[in-house]
Amino acid sequence: MQGLPLVDRFGRVATDLRVSLTDRCNLRCTYCMPAEGLDWMPRDDQLTDDEVVRLIGVAVGELGVREVRFTGGEPLVRRGLVDIVRRVRALDPGVEMSVTTNGLGLDRTAAALAEAGLDRVNVSLDTVRPDTFAEITRRDRFDDVVAGLEAAEAAGLGPIKVNAVLLRGVNDDQAPELLGWCVDRGYQLRFIEQMPLDAQHGWSRDRMVTADEIFERLAAQFALAPASEPRGSAPAELFTVDGGPATVGVIASVTRPFCGDCDRTRLTADGQIRNCLFAREESDLRTALRTGADDGELAERWLKAMWGKAAGHGIDDPSFLQPDRPMSAIGG
């Protein structure tokens, strides 16, 4: 690293970069998007592959970023994904690189992604019942996700993590079933509390399934014990399942926020830096990039954007306002 780390005024250092490659998606999860989809970002606003790689190069080369996670929207719908992965790997052989995906199409691309230098995948799957899957995602594609998971494993993109969101009255009674399924296959399951980031503004604290409830439901069927590895900046509280080695994570983003340990910085598909999922402001790197800024200037803008990061997301403050962009346009 040549320049300064991405430090904020509370002393946190961001080393984990989430890159959204598109706001488009081929599913319509009810906690994320409306059935009809959204007004997608105009193509010209979206960073080109070259621009994405250039900005990641600044983050990794000048600003101390050590982990790059591609997300969206659905990152696998971005045509240039494999090439972007290959070029980032060439920039830095040591950077940890992963993709968060709904798994659709992973059966066709897992081998190419692994060959290009991707380390791991996180696959989102909230249920192992095809009918519940169709109810949550509004698409009948459960088998395709399973095929994607299997291909990722065969390609060596493990350890595979599975992300799940529980919705009251829809799949909250299925948590143990999902955990058993993941344990049988060697996937590391992590439950995420539902956050107020859906485009429809349908989130409500009363209906959200809390981390404590999730733990209780799992503990009714499995012996859970705190895992010994330190949590550090990782958001998941980890538990061993039935004595291990399998583990399950619970990410209590709302009820036990981990903002004090946050090490994230985010780049949206249209080239805006966000210092938090819940930030109300963004810093425009795309215009600077397109008007000839050099790497040093881009790095400086990035540093300034992170310096202003708030202490916490403030979901519990009476003055809390959901960000203008939904999760699918920020990059989850």
Binding site for ligand SAM (CB under 6 A): 25, 31-32, 71-72, 74, 100-102, 124, 163, 165, 192, 194-195, 197-198, 327-328, 332
Q: Can you tell me the distance from the alpha carbon of 32 to that of 242, in angstroms, rounded to the nearest whole number? A: 33
33 binds, among ligand SAM, ligand SF4, none (CB under 5 to 8 A by kind): ligand SF4
Q: Which stretch binds ligand SF4 (CB under 6 A): 66-74, 172-180, 247-255, 313-321?
A: 66-74
3-state secondary structure of 199: coil
Burial of residue 2, with CB atoms counted within 10 A of its CB: 0-12 exposed, 13-18 middle, 19 or more buried = exposed
Q: How far is the CB of 103 from ligand SF4 (least distance, A)?
A: 9
Sequence-ordered list of residues with C-beta below 8 angstroms from that of 20, at least 6 positions apart, any chain: 71, 72, 73, 75, 266, 267, 268, 269, 329, 330, 331
| Closer CB to ligand SF4, 25 or 151, in the complex | 25
Judged by beta carbon distances under 5 to 8 A according to partner kind, the member of ligand SF4, ligand SAM, none in contact with residue 28 is: ligand SF4
For ligand SAM, the closer CB: 198 or 237? 198
Site for ligand SF4 in 106-165 (CB under 6 A): 124
Closest by Cα among 238, 254, 269, 232 to 315 = 254
If one asks whether residue 28 binds ligand SF4 (CB under 6 A), the answer comes out as: yes
> How many angstroms separate the Cα of 80 from the Cα of each of 22, 43, 72?
11, 14, 14
Distance of CA 305 to the CA centre of its chain: 20
Kindly report the number of other CB atoms within 10 A of residue 260's CB atom: 11
Rg (CA), the chain: 19
Identify the residue among 6, 17, 21, 29 touching ligand SF4 (CB under 6 A): 29
Cβ atoms of 312 and 278 within 8 Å: the answer is no
Q: Which of 14, 17, 32, 81 binds ligand SF4 (CB under 6 A)?
A: 32
249 binds, among ligand SAM, ligand SF4, none (CB under 5 to 8 A by kind): none
Rounded (10°) CA dihedral 104, 29, 222, 154: 10
Q: How far is the CB of 159 from ligand SAM (least distance, A)?
A: 16
Q: Which does 171 bind (CB under 5 to 8 A by kind): ligand SF4, ligand SAM, none?
A: none
Minimum separation from the CB atom of position 195 to ligand SAM (A)? 4
27 or 277: CB nearest ligand SF4: 27
Integer angstrom CA distances of residue 63 from 15, 52, 102, 142, 300: 8, 15, 30, 40, 9
Residue 73 sits in the site that holds ligand SF4 (CB under 6 A)? yes
27 binds ligand SF4 (CB under 6 A): yes
Cα–Cα distance, 203 to 327 (Å, whole number): 12
Q: Tell me the residue number closest to ligand SAM, measured at CB.
A: 332
Residue (160 or 227) nearer to ligand SF4, CB: 160
Reduce the DSSP state of residue 202 to 3 states and report it. coil
Q: Is 184 helix (H, G, I), strand (E, B) or coil?
A: helix
CB of 33 to ligand SF4, least distance (A): 5
Residue 102 binds ligand SF4, judged by CB under 6 A: yes
Instruction: Give the nearest distance from C-beta 219 to ligand SAM in angstroms.
Output: 22
Interacting partner of 175 out of ligand SAM, ligand SF4, none (Cβ under 5 to 8 A depending on kind): none
Shortest CB 289 distance to ligand SF4, Å: 25
What are the helix (H) ranges across the chain? 49-62, 81-91, 106-116, 130-137, 142-154, 175-185, 211-219, 286-290, 295-307, 327-330
Cβ count near 156 (within 10 Å) = 13
Interaction of residue 33 with ligand SF4, rule CB under 6 A: yes
Contacting residues toward ligand SF4, per CB under 6 A = 25, 27-29, 32-33, 72-74, 102, 124, 328
